[in-house]
Amino acid sequence: MNIPVIILGFGGHARVLIDVLRLQGIQILGISIPDEDLNHKYYDGIPIIGNDKDVLEYSKNDIRLINGLGSVKESEHRKKLYEQFSNMGYQFTNAIHPSAIISSNVHLSEAVQVMAGAVIQPGAVVGINTIINTRASIDHDCNIGSHVHIAPGVTISGGVIVNDNVHVGTGAVIIQGVSIGNNSVIGAGAVVINNVFDNTTVLGVPARVKGE
């Protein structure tokens, strides 16, 4: 059943999602935006329904939600937004661009977003509320945690573990078998050849811990 959706938040990431949802043939009822932006009536042709509180006027049985927040600066807000509505019983749908290549032997959790040209190979698992962005490549038997952002052009080799709340920056490369700890940030263009501990930022080629 094609249940209509409401997008939470607006901006560049939400605009990409609008395109993905249209290509999927999913009806978009509207977009919720912050109070300070409520002078807007439409965004990319989609009606503004109000703020997040106004979403609660819709029955959780009649709609699905899409998390429209995207960047690393909003990662904690993005997580809280998902948890807020999920705890109230609302469900989030997955947004999958038709050009993405996803093996039939892949497990995608709730609220996963896979953008144009992404590849996810057999045996991979992707956790809740995670973004696999444009042309990212996830190889076989990887475990990608929840509330993760795999940015455009990232390459992750086989058997990699990316734990929860991680941001992997644009064009980064992670070699096979490496584990990335919770709440870590992999800088854009970094090449990760060793395990990364929790709460760590790594930069460079090869990647080094920030400050070292």
- How far apart, in Å, do the first and last CA atoms of the chain sit? 53
Band of the pLDDT at 74, cuts 50, 70, 90?
A: low
User: What's the pTM value of the predicted model, to 2 decimals?
Assistant: 0.93
The pLDDT assigned to 75 comes to 74
Q: Which tens digits make up the pLDDT trace of 18-41?
A: 999 999 999 999 999 876 566 768
Active site (annotated) includes residue 140:
yes
**Of 13, 77, 107, 140, catalytic:** 140
d(CA 173, CA 55): 39
